[in-house]
């Protein structure tokens, strides 16, 4: 799985002008499933997201995780994270999981996150979404879970 983690002051996802998911301070995570991903990658990704120490402590050091600060988690499916731009100017997306598997794995990430943390919000798999965020820091971290 590929994820792009952004520490945010707030974030929300809209579809056709309607908010479908929103959080205050926490993490906005763009998630891309790959063809070989399994439940093991789902569990490792969620564990990493909840344990990632990227929030400031009393001294301003990144020593606190999402659960320490009681932050929100906003998950958004994003197959374009698997883009191959090595040839030409048009990206290829064959490294992303096919839509049925991608949906299944994204739903599994969402279920695992909701079982282990609150609040958790999400976009809608496969929808044309507008993602609004205020990146805090800015802090943006790419993750690859194998």
How many other C-beta atoms lie within 10 A of the C-beta of residue 5? 21
Let me know if 19 is a catalytic residue.
no
Whether residue 57 contacts residue 63, with contact meaning beta carbons closer than 8 Å, is answered with yes
Active site residue 78: yes
| Residue 79 appears among annotated catalytic residues | yes
Query: Which of the following is catalytic: 55, 78, 106, 125?
Result: 78
Of residues 80, 93, 130, 144, which has the active-site annotation? 80
For 130, how many CA atoms within 13 A lie in the half-sphere containing its CB?
A: 7
CB atoms under 10 Å from CB of 123, counted, come to 25
Q: Which of 55, 79, 106, 125 is catalytic?
A: 79
Residues labelled as active-site residues: 78-80
């Amino acid at each position: 799985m590929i994820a792009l983690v952004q520490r945010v002051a707030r974030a929300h996802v809209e579809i056709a002008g309607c908010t479908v998911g929103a959080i205050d301070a926490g993490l906005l995570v763009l998630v891309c499933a790959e063809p070989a991903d399994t439940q093991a990658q789902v569990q490792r990704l969620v564990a990493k997201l909840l344990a990632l120490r990227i929030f400031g402590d009393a001294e301003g050091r990144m020593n606190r995780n999402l659960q320490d600060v009681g932050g929100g988690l906003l998950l958004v499916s994003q197959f374009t994270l698997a883009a191959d731009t090595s040839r030409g100017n048009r990206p290829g997306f064959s490294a992303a999981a096919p839509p049925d598997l991608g949906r299944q794995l994204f739903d599994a990430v969402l279920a695992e996150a909701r079982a282990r943390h609150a609040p958790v919000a999400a976009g809608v798999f496969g929808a044309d979404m507008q993602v609004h965020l205020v990146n805090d820091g800015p802090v943006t971290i790419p993750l690859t879970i194998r």
